[in-house]
Amino acid sequence: MLFNSLAFVAFFPIVCLLYWLLPHRWRNLFLLIASYYFYMNWKPAYALLIGFSTIVTWVCGRHIADSAGKAKKVSLVVCLVLNFAILFIYKYLNFATGAVFSLLDLAGLRMAVPEFDILLPVGISFYTFQAVGYTIDVYRGTIRPERNFFTYALFVSFFPQLVAGPIERAANLLPQFHTRHKFNGENLIEGFKLMIWGYFMKLCIAGNVSVYVDAVFNNLPNHNGTSVIMAAFFFTFQIFCDFGGYSLIAIGVARCMGFNLMQNFNRPYFATSVKEFWRRWHISLSTWFMDYVYIPLGGSRCSRAKHLRNLLITFVVSGVWHGANWTFVVWGAYHGLLLCGHTIRVKFLHIKESTTGLMKAVNIVFTFVLAMAGWIFFRANTLSDAVQAFHHILYRRGPLFIGEGKSEMALPLVLIALLVLKELKDEMGWNIHLMHNKNVYVSAVSSALMIIVIAVCAQFESGAFIYFQF
Amino acid sequence: MKTILKYFLCVLVVVVGFDLLLGFVAKRYVTTHILPGDYQAIDYLINRSNEECLIIGSSLAINSLMPSLMEDSLGMTCYNGGANAQSMPYFETMLDCVFRRYTPKMVIFVLDPNELSRKGLGQRYNVLVPYYGCGHELIDRNLESKDAVEPWLLRSASYRYNRIWWRILLYHFIGYSNKSDKGFVPHERPMSLPMLKTIQNEDTVQACVDSFVRCMTICNDRGVKVVCVFPPGYYSPVNGAFQSVNVVEEECLKINAVCIDDSQDSTFLEHPEWFYDNKHFNIDGSVIYTKQFLQELKAHSQTQQ
């Protein structure tokens, strides 16, 4: 079920209402059923995969907590192998097979590449990482294993963040399922406002720019460098508004039911360096990789060479996490290299970053351009498409493709300006509040106007969220 | 609880109030003004056209045939009613709207070689939304056919004028220069693209074929002369004829209509300077192709006689 579908518009109010009407002891079970219903709307059989992952991580978590030494380690390894094996089969098998056969081809052994007809389960990377994170935390002793299986199953499948995050930590979310939530009007209104802004980002901005982005990136031979730059600029906002919008809706939906999910984006395009960008972008995944990949590799507490190696490995793995395509691998490596460059500059050469005045603005723009260049790899359908896009940018100039007309180009630009203005207000801490005004009437009218903006500007046929495929 | 009620009630009142206001203002605007952009052609076809020869099609039509060049040769008044990114259901709708007012002598369908392979109503059929509920049955029926919820959503003015208000607002304040010459829009832009090598011969879609057959039948029943034309493009030739072209040729034969297939005319492949992209002529190409089309039409007419 998509957040931007009419089915969800009917589903959520019913679930929210019943949740608050039910006695506390039934609420978790009800949310568990609702979450599985939410997921099974897409492909019922794939709920078995969530179930399997839930059982494996729960049983292993219990076993890890009850054992010590080698047995504890074996349980963790079994848990990781089983979970990542499923992820590998459903997400990477075709990609890996293709890569192996390409290598064989290079070695002179030409064979037909077998194609496995596997449909990628929506959100598999998200719930796998969340469940695996729980097991590692239990192994490390940072949390106690969850005793109640159904509560744990809800932690893995909680519908607001099931298919595209935020990837929650057990230490944050699990205790909330044990808390006796009392109905709180402020939470309901706050959640509603977050959902409104999330829908604005997804339907108005991501939806409207997607038309142009798809027209250019799906037909690169027909477009010149000017149009590719414009498409890359639009995609930079599309990916942020698509995923950031989803995260806000997820956080808002959870808030309406009294749950607090972690913040996933913090105005990433106001970052003054690539390092800061990754502190603001997809925070739940960045911190996951930091805690479970980068630090176990040695983090920064090792030799300079190993520090850089750790950064590069972490970002390449992060790229692979995003999808089974060389474009994501290169995107991850690109960011890894940028971060290595930043580390060398700041940590090894001790060149200080200016964080005030004009230089800050220059750094923001420079970081934005670097991120935008990276998104070309991310959006291109193939690696050769990405190369072609850069080739067009450098060597093939021409008039800007204006797609469906100037008005259709102007609308996304106006909506992006509105978003940037709001982000700037938050970044600068300006004390102007409309939707979050303390006066209930100002707040309500602002919310209503935002709903109207969504209704009249939204691209309702903008389809699924991009991050569903991961 | 009181705050929640106040908040949500206020939200509801403002949203419903604005929706009603938008509906009132927009409907009044649509009935008293000619909308800009694509709507000029739509509005003209639906409400005001009286030409003896009508050209129907997508952007291919807009950029291919010049009515001012055609009028003398055909000996009848002519209007190019092409609309960007449209397909068969839109052509059928326009034909239905025109025939409710008058019967032209000739209708020229300018078609893409994969025209009958399009699924559904087409991504831009909803440009007709401002005409929903204005007595055009086919428009209402097609728009409502999307799904079970659509008729309910169409009751909301915010939904009906979704993104359309923006064009109205923009063009109302910054103005709109009508560059069209009897519906034909000249493009001065030079070609900046290599030859397209990925065009494929796509399978026809039955619903699309049915829609085309209905168009042909309506024209035939009313004694309207029908010409179907596939203009050339700057793309690699495919093996054999396109499936859509074959179907159109068969249907044309049935009602003695003219079918001109120039979709793989090799002469045009040697002249990228006649196009501004792989499928659309610039002004030079339009002049050359309109003249060629008229000659071919003449030859067909003589053969038929």
Residues A204, A199: Cα–Cα separation, whole Å: 7
Alpha helices in chain B (DSSP H): 2-32, 38-43, 59-64, 67-74, 88-101, 137-144, 150-153, 157-160, 164-174, 206-221, 243-255, 266-269, 283-304
Residue B152 lies in a domain: no
Element (H, E) at B258: strand B258-261
What are all long-range contacts of A59-64, with beta carbons under 8 Å and residues at least 24 apart?
A60/A135, A61/A134, A61/A135, A61/A138, A61/A145, A61/A146, A61/A152, A62/A145, A64/A135, A64/A138, A64/A139, A64/A145
Which chain B residues in 190-249 lie under 8 Å from chain A, judged by CB atoms?
A: 192-194, 196-198
> Chain A partners of B194 at a C-beta cutoff of 8 Å?
221
Tell me if residue A275 falls in helix, strand or coil: helix
Residue B125 lies in a domain: no
B301 closest CA partner among B104, B42, B106:
B106
User: Across the interface, which of B7, B15, B196 has its CB nearest the CB of A189?
Assistant: B7
Cα atoms in the Cβ-side hemisphere of radius 13 Å centred on B6: 10
Q: Is the pLDDT of residue B178 over 70?
A: no
Structure tokens at A146: 């969850």
Which chain B residues in 264-293 lie under 8 Å from chain A, judged by CB atoms?
A: 277-278
pLDDT at B202: 87
pLDDT at B276: 87
> A61-93, pLDDT tens digit by residue?
999 998 888 889 999 999 999 999 999 998 888
Structure tokens at A121: 């389960």
pLDDT at A118: 77
More confident residue, A349 or A147: A147
B75 closest CA partner among B51, B44, B43:
B51
Q: Cβ B192–A444 below 8 Å, yes or no?
A: no
Q: Is the pLDDT of residue A2 over 80?
A: yes
Cα radius of gyration rounded to whole Å, chain B: 21
Q: Is the pLDDT of residue A102 over 90?
A: no
Q: CA A182 from chain center: how many Å?
A: 30
Q: Please report which confidence band the pLDDT of residue A468 belongs to, taking 50, 70 and 90 as the band edges.
A: low
Tell me if residue B79 falls in helix, strand or coil: strand
Tell me if residue B80 falls in helix, strand or coil: strand
Residue B64 lies in a domain: yes
Catalytic residue numbers of A?
Answer: 322
CA distances from B53 to A71, B41, B61, B98, B167 (A): 86, 15, 13, 12, 29
Q: Is A461 on the interface with B (CB under 8 A)?
A: yes
Mean pLDDT (chain B) is: 87
Total count of domains within chain B: 1
Domain that holds residue B87: 34-120+182-304
Q: Cβ B14–A444 below 8 Å, yes or no?
A: yes
Residue type, A423: E
> Chain B partners of A452 at a C-beta cutoff of 8 Å?
14-15, 18-19, 158
Q: Is A451 on the interface with B (CB under 8 A)?
A: yes
Residue B130 lies in a domain: no
Alpha carbon of B180: minimum distance to chain A alpha carbons (Å): 15
Q: Mutating which of B7, B20, B121 best tests the A interface, going by the most A Cβ atoms within 10 A?
A: B7
B52-81 mean pLDDT: 91
Q: Which residues contact B215 (CB under 8 A, 6 or more apart)?
A: B88, B91, B92, B95, B109
Burial A1-13 (b: 16+ CB within 10 A, else e): bbbbeeebeebbe
Which of A3-12, A114-123, A220-229, B293-302 is least confident? A114-123
> A212-231, pLDDT tens digit by residue?
899 899 888 888 889 999 99
Q: Cβ B166–A407 below 8 Å, yes or no?
A: yes
Q: Mutating which of A5, A397, A401, A407 best tests the B interface, going by the most B Cβ atoms within 10 A?
A: A407
Percent of all residues in chain A with a pLDDT value above 90, rounded to a whole number: 64
ipTM for the whole complex: 0.78
Q: Find the closest chain A residue to B161 by CA distance.
A: A456
Residues A53, A362: Cα–Cα separation, whole Å: 46
> B134-154, pLDDT tens digit by residue?
888 899 999 998 888 888 888
Element (H, E) at A107: none
Tell me if residue A404 falls in helix, strand or coil: coil
Structure tokens at A123: 């959100």
Alpha carbon of A461: minimum distance to chain B alpha carbons (Å): 9
Residues B194, A376: Cα–Cα separation, whole Å: 22
> A274-325, pLDDT tens digit by residue?
999 999 999 999 999 999 999 999 988 888 889 999 999 999 999 999 988 8
> Chain B partners of A457 at a C-beta cutoff of 8 Å?
162-163, 166
Q: Give the domain CATH number at B275.
A: 3.40.50.1110
